[in-house]
Structure 1
Amino acid sequence: MNQQLFDLAENTSRSIFLTGKAGTGKTTFLSEFVRKTTKKHIVLAPTGIAAINAGGVTIHSMFGLPPRTFLPTYERIDGNIALNIADLMLHFKYRKEKLKLLREIELIIIDEVSMLRADVLDMMDHSLRFVRRSDKRFGGVQMLFIGDLYQLPPVVRDEHVLKRYYNSPFFFESHALKEVPLITIELTTVYRQTDETFLEILNDIREGVVGDIDFEMLNRRYIPDFEPGDEPYVYLTSHNRMADEINRKRLAELPGKSRMYAADIEGTFSENQFPNDEVLELKPGCQVMFIRNDASGEKKYFNGKLAEVLEVEEKEIVVQIDGSDETYILKKETWEQKKYSLASDKTIKEEVLGSFNQYPIRLAWAVTIHKSQGLTFDRLIVDAGQSFASGQVYVALSRCRTLEGIVLKSKITPEVIITDRRVAQFQDETQANDRLEEILNSEKYDYSIHKIVNRLDCRWILPALQSWHNTANSSKFIDRDKVKFLYESIKPEAENFNTIFRKFEKIMHQKTQSFISGKEDWKEVEAKAKGAVNFFFNQINAKAFSPLKEFYAENKAAKGLKQYNEDFRVLLDDLEDYLNSLKLLQLLDIPLFDKANDVAVTSKIAKVPSHILTFQLFENGKTIPEISRERGLVVETIYGHLAKFAERGLLELERVFAKEKIKTFEKEFREKTHENLTDWKKALPNDFEFNEIRILLNHYNYQKEKNEDAE
């Protein structure tokens, strides 16, 4: 099933909820998928610790979401209680880099989705639609949700507030998902437990089938006065306070002096996301558990494996791993806090903001159910009679490999088996295990065409062009006649692109349906896609991008146009991204872009030297005082710029000097030679300035050399 599941996520746009009982390999699938996929993706999680463990970032940090409850309405809401859609929109002022990243994403993976509230998912939806300029839910991004809804539920502080708009806090109640054809795929092979009797009991508890649970068999493990002997047990508690109290007490009872081991923290790493204690307090004899799998490849330990500390030296901790006769010297491991960014080649890269380097163990006479998520134990002590919330009995018992490894401090009764029937109903309605191949075969062609059509969609260009035109016309420092000419030449082209795109979109969907029904050869679909990709690249580059870029280059350094140019730059960058994305398009595995059409597309403008900008204005008929005012430069500087062109005989002297002045200089130049500008200044009438002399001297030197060469 895992290969089919991978193909479904990779080769269709179908949004998926991947679930399964504890120990069925959800985390393994996530790791494998992230390693193999070619889709531009990010990994998110509802909490900091879950994000660190999944190798991703939190949903709130990715989207800049406020911590308050969200209600999907435009009605006025008391800001102390929650925020509405209008309030939420104020949080979507992302930097340009974040905007580009969110527009490139093809797939968002959310791990530990059982803890994701419906309103938070709806906030994500609003953000993505806003940023991606799309009416589609999640802005058209494919979603892969991973988790077990029978385990830890979302934390809700104001459930009565959420109830006004949501039937339950679970993610599947989000308004966005009501319009997404989400399917549920359940992994069914349990790798953690192999005892069929124990598995049956766990399944019945998970599904809340109280009448089917073998309480008699289960409560044989009820040993109220049990005390661990030589074999290490972990006490599973419902609250941090209880676990901390047990661990502190047991550590204090050990003889000897504690030694402290501080974590090495580099860069930025949020304290509330520390994956382990910042300072570990250890003594010889203390019971610890590993909180990471062995990354060295030796597989000496795994997440949840117990060990006993034998020696605590200043720079060395020696342990004996449960089930092994050998000692083991601990090595520190590194957890990274990341953020996603877009690389220059438009791939999504992970940027490490900070690292947390610490020994991968924590005291483990007791651990909370929450921190046990994802762990596997051989021996557990469970008190399921105290404050166990929905799903916690199942989570607690399923941490252990065998029923024999569990000791119950209180009996498990029907009253503590709490499940939410809405979970079962949702999964029953969306369950698609037996339709995997059917969905894959019917949707992979549609997906590949949809991807091409989405990338080719150029309908955003016309409104973006209109927005640029409005901004340009509101500027006092731009040549409005040029703006008008450029706009009126590109606008009909953009309108034509829209018409052609709509026809192409219709034809491609028709051809795809004809292919699926056996009436069309796939080569026809492929040929049409190739033609469209190369047409739009050539036409939009020649008739929109290039003339806009040229106009931008003319005004890039002009005075008073900083804000205008920044806005203009966004349009150029978007066109650049669009054109370069067409070069990479593939239909299934076939590249569509013809390399014969390949030209470099970049919105970067080589910095135009200041003297060239001055000369362009001069050539356009501007006087020296006008150029000085427009460019914000002193007159002397303008003369210096013009002298460079006089050196090549490109300057019309009559536009700078009176005829009499030119004749006076020419007479002196033909009759005498002077060593430097100072000598020239002394020889000429007082109304000659140094900058004027330099221009004239450059011009006549050029003419002299030209004549000498001709001879």
Structure 2
Amino acid sequence: IKQLIAHSKHNIFLTGKAGTGKTTLLRQIVQETYKACVVAAPTGIAALNAGGVTLHSLLQLPLGTFIPDSSAQLPEQGQQLFVTPATLRRHVHLREQKVRLLQAMELLIIDEVSMLRADTLDMVDTLLRSVRRSPLPFGGVQLLFIGDMLQLPPVVKPQEQERLRLYYESNFFFDAQVLRQYPPIHVQLEKVYRQQDQRFVTLLNHLRYNETTPSERAWLERRVQRTFDASRTEGYVCLTTHNQRAEEINRRALEELPGAYQDYHAQISGDFPEQLYPVDPMLSLKVGTRVMLIKNDSETPRRYYNGSLATVEEMSGEELLLRLETGEVIEAPLYTWHNERYGLDEETGDMQPEVIGTFRHYPLRLAWAITIHKSQGLTFERAAIDLEAVFSSGQAYVALSRLRSPEGLILISELDRGHQIAVPQRLLSYEETAASDSQLAECLSSAQRDYWQEQTLAAFRWAGCAQRFRTHAFSYHIESERSAKSSFGDWAAEASATIEELHQIAERFVLQLQQLWASGEGALEAVALRIEEAAAYFVPRWREVMRSLLETQRKVRGMRKVKEFQAELDELHGQLIQTLRGLFRIQGIMQALRAGQPLLREQLDIDGRLKRWLEGIYSEFKTPYIVPESKESSAGKQKGSKQKEASSTSEPKLGTQEQTLELLRSGKSINQIAKARDLAPSTIAGHIAQLMERGLLSEREAGIKPAIYDELTPHFEHMRGEQGFKAIYEATEGSYSYQELRLYHAAFLHRQRVAAAEAKARELAEQRLFE
């Protein structure tokens, strides 16, 4: 799967039974891919769980029914909105930043795709083709669909179904017209990791398709205990079909506990809509309350996992202690959920998620009972399952597949009624289209050569950049001679001519690449070598173009009434960044392919390399303009020049913080460094904190743990001065030393600085560089 994503543009449908590792693979792909990637899902909660956004918010889709026929006669608009390709753009209003993001997107991952409707996917296709100005499916974006089609189905109202059946064989996403014309590669994960008992795995497979054998049904009947009360039995959670039933069981069990209630409130900041709340914003608990942790432990070895049951052991103020099923008592963890949207890094053009809201709370749910729907993705050791009111196919399978083994299974009602809800025949027939391992290998082999040919040629096609500069140069002909802009006409003409020259050279180079790709075996090696040689030629030329533009921007920034002109130059700057990013990217990728290395984002470090290259240019402008030297200061320096000359010939000495940094990177701990340097550990910790604040030391090198950082962040946000450390120390019951608090506070300050710098518009960022 990862190879197909890295080396092709094929659309892929990744599916598998419960417990086959779909979510794990999703997270790995997002973390590793070098492509500009966005994660989305049909619903808000599914998007939150996947670490993404909803499709409708990403694309600003209207909440209506899509009819894939512009000539269709639509009914009068009542409460239900109907949209066609001809009317879609009338309902979609995209800002320029959103347009640029969608144009930069290379990989769109849609999770929980069983809920995605066919007409919605055709609407996505239509919009992306329009925004990206490409006739290719989805405008040339690669799509990865992930989900189990036998779980939650798409929701379609009767009045919609009447229209949709004229265009779609079913409401499932794979019957979208775009996928009927361009089917995705269908990949089925087979190995089940959640259950180890092969007989139980077989039973679940049979239950999945309503094909249980008489002996399996007899075994299930023996698990029925109609009077079993999970709320009064330690270690069991009741899975039921309806939310009202689960809430009733939890309310009754909580009321029956002795003692007083303690309320715990979520900390909500920014934009975090109520429909996205992952847990109740107010948890009312008593000692003895049965709860479920819905996040994995961040520590190693793990003490609990997503779905672990626990009991409230002690409550005092904001402190909450839980007793796990193992008997271990732990402090309830706090967790921060992020509501994100995607944006573009103004400096490098890289696509980055931006946090627009947070929800911080204990990741706990009352756990005497939960619905089967909310149990998806969870794993239980023991459960009592009530299937009396099953209302959709797959519910019985989802419920039983939450268990690790059959030993923990109790049925409160028979399974017969669940068996009466048949799996749709369209799903069964589509499952037969899954590709074999040999077919996947053949597909990869045939796709990657064409893909890399397309990518290498595209990286040197600079007609768009040349046209942008040409248009800018032409604009001076209609500019008033008295305007401030008119004095830069010669510069614009020269810059445009230089880029046109580079464009013409690159076009000839593209012809060379085409010939190399056509040469057959060994083409990749030859192309990689030529690109390395081309980069050695082009990068210095582009450096001069960038320096020239930055110098012009610096001059203009000191002038008055040039706002529009500055905006034009900023656009040219963005165009250069986009062009350079493509060049840096293909150079890094070809180096990796030639060396036989995997194409991993962290190893390629495309944006890091580009940033460092840009900083090298920016630094040329810092000294002359940030620290101008006056005659007085120059004369004053001459008095001590002899003393400086004498000292300049000696070996430069590392500062005290740099010495700590050197020892830390050699593998020594804080205590070992303190002993070696004959300093207090608190002093060394202070060095590390200051090195982080200066950006010379990464959080990983400093030993910062994400879970602890998330816990302390709300305290730092409300902290006032040094006295604030005492308040945090007391609020966390001394869980962290003052040394640790200062260390994490340094990480907090550094992140704030970085976030503030990235959030500013390019104009302000460059003004700071060139002043």
Per the normalisation by structure 2, the TM-score is 0.67
Structure 1 residue 148: Cα displacement: 1.0
Contact 1:471–1:564 (CA under 8 A) maintained in structure 2: no
Tell me which residue corresponds to 1:586: 587
Show the counterpart of 1:351: 354
The 5-angstrom pairing of residues 292-441 of structure 1 reads 292-322=295-325, 324-343=326-345, 344-413=347-416, 415-441=419-445
- Determine helix, strand or coil for the equivalent of 2:174: helix
Range 481-490 or range 227-236, more displaced? 481-490
**Letter in structure 2 aligned against 1:221:** R
Distance across 1 between alignment mates of 2:324 and 2:301: 13
> What's the CA shift string for 1:55-112, capped at 9, x where partnerless?
2222222222222222223236454432222332245543343333333333222222
Shift of 1:291: 0.8
Q: Tell me how far apart the structure 2 counterparts of residues 126 and 473 of structure 1 sit (CA, whole Å).
A: 39
**Does the alignment pair 1:13 with 2:15?**
no
The answer for the alignment partner of 1:455 in structure 2 is 459
What is the rounded CA distance, in whole Å, between the counterparts of 1:278 and 1:95 in structure 2?
A: 33
CA gap 1:496/1:424 in 2 versus in 1, 3 angstroms: farther
What does 1:8-407 align with in structure 2 at a 5 Å threshold? 8-75=4-71, 77=74, 78-79=76-77, 80-90=80-90, 93-157=93-157, 158-180=160-182, 182-209=184-211, 214-228=216-230, 230-322=233-325, 324-343=326-345, 344-407=347-410
Q: Please give the per-residue CA displacement for 1:21-46, whole angstroms capped at 9, x wherever unaligned.
A: 11111111222232333332222222
Using the alignment, how far apart are the partners of 2:208 and 2:154 within structure 1?
A: 17
Q: Is the 8 A contact 1:456 1:536 kept in 2?
A: no
Q: Partner of 1:297: helix, strand, or coil? A: coil
Q: For residues 576 and 376 of structure 1, do their structure 2 counterparts lie closer, same or farther at Cα, with a shift above 3 Å needed? A: closer
| Max Rg structure | 1
User: Residue 478 of structure 1: CA displacement?
Assistant: 9.9
TM-aligned CA deviation for residue 548 of structure 1 = 9.7
Q: How far apart are 1:302 and its partner, in Å?
A: 0.8
Query: What one-letter code is carried by the residue in structure 2 that aligns with 1:240?
Result: N
- What is the CA-CA distance between 1:146 and the residue it aligns to? 1.7
Residues 589 and 552 of structure 1: CA distance in aligned 2, closer, same or farther (over 3 Å): closer
Per-residue CA deviations over 1:662-698 (Å, capped at 9, x if unaligned) read: xxxxxxxxxxxxxxxxxxxxxxxxxxxxxxxxxxxxx
- The CA deviation string for residues 351-384 of structure 1, in whole angstroms up to 9 with x for no partner, is 2222211111110111112211100112222232
AA aligned to 1:172 is: F
CA distance in 2, matches of 1:212, 1:43: 43
Deviation at 1:278, TM superposition (A): 0.1
Aligned residues: percent identity? 37
Tell me the distance in 2 between the aligned counterparts of 1:53 and 1:588: 31
Asked if structure 1 preserves the Cα contact closer than 8 Å seen for 2:265 and 2:283, the reply is yes
Task: Write the distance in 2 (CA, Å) between the matches of 1:466 and 1:172.
Answer: 45
Aligned to 2:517: 512
CA distance in 2 between counterparts of 1:309 and 1:171 reads 43
Could you tell which deviates more after superposition, 170-179 or 139-148?
A: 170-179
Q: Which amino acid aligns with 2:150?
A: Y
Contact preservation (8 Å) 1:319, 1:330: yes
Name 2:698's counterpart in structure 1: none
Q: How far apart, in 2, do the equivalents of 1:185 and 1:506 lie?
A: 37
Range with greater deviation from structure 2 (142-151 or 530-539): 530-539
User: How far 1:237 moved relative to its partner?
Assistant: 2.1
What displacement does 1:202 show? Answer: 1.2
- Per the TM alignment, residue 123 of structure 1 is displaced from its structure 2 partner at its CA by 3.0
1:446: which partner in 2? 450
Contact 2:237/2:367 (CA < 8 Å) preserved in 1?
yes
Matches within 5 A, 1:549-698: 566=567, 570=571, 573-586=574-587, 588-590=589-591
CA 1:313–1:493 in 2, change beyond 3 Å: closer, same or farther? closer
Q: CA deviation at 1:212?
A: 8.6
**SS of residue paired to 1:404:** helix
- Gaps spanning 5+ residues in structure 2: where? 595-605, 626-771
- Tell me whether 526-535 or 294-303 shows the greater mean CA deviation: 526-535
Query: Number of aligned pairs?
Result: 595
Residues 1:461 and 1:242: Cα distance change in structure 2 (over 3 Å): same
Q: Report deviation, 1:513.
A: 5.0
Cα distance between partner residues in 1 of 2:318 and 2:487: 72
Counterparts in 2 of 1:522-533, with a 5 A limit? 522-530=524-532
Once the two structures are overlaid, the 10-residue window that deviates more, 491-500 or 244-253, is 491-500
Which residue number corresponds to residue 702 of structure 1?
none
Equivalent residues of 1:287, 1:364 under 8 A apart = yes
Aligned-residue offset at 1:477: 9.0
**1:475: Cα distance to partner?**
8.1
CA distance in 1, matches of 2:315, 2:518: 69
Matched AA of 1:455:
A
- CA distance in 2 between counterparts of 1:172 and 1:45 reads 15
Change (3 A) 1:91 1:39: same
Partner Cα distance (1:555, 1:334) in 2: 44
1:508 positional shift = 4.2
Partner SS, residue 135 of structure 2 = coil
- The one-letter amino acid paired with 2:342 is Y
The farther-off stretch of 369-378 and 427-436 is: 427-436
Matched to 2:297, the amino acid is D
TM-superposed CA distance for 1:263, in Å, is: 0.8
Larger mean Cα displacement after TM superposition, 86-95 or 327-336? 86-95
How far 1:500 moved relative to its partner?
A: 7.9
Structure 2 letter corresponding to 1:512 = W
Contact 2:67 2:82 in 1 (8 A): yes
Q: Are residues 305 and 548 of structure 1, via their aligned partners in 2, closer, same or farther at CA, if it must alter by over 3 Å?
A: closer
Q: Secondary structure at the match of 1:17?
A: strand
What is the Cα deviation at residue 265 of structure 1? Answer: 1.5
Quick one: distance in 1 between partners of 2:574 and 2:444? 36
Q: Which moved more, 1:276-285 or 1:181-190?
A: 181-190
Relative to structure 1, the CA distance from residue 317 to residue 581 in structure 2 (aligned partners, 3 Å threshold; closer, same or farther) is same
Q: Check 1:420–1:475 CA distance in 2 against 1; reply closer, same or farther (3 A cut).
A: farther
Whole-angstrom distance in 2 between the partners of 1:396 and 1:327: 29
How far apart, in 1, do the equivalents of 2:348 and 2:492 lie?
30
Deviation at 1:301, TM superposition (A): 1.0
CA separation of 1:556/1:283 partners in 2, compared to 1, >3 Å: closer, same or farther? closer
TM-score by length of 1: 0.72
| Alignment deviations for residues 501-534 of structure 1 (CA, whole Å, 9 cap, x no partner) | 777667645643542xx3x544433345456667
Match of 1:616 in 2: none
Q: Is the 8 A contact 2:110 2:144 kept in 1?
A: yes
Q: CA deviation at 1:398?
A: 0.9
Amino acid at match of 2:130: F
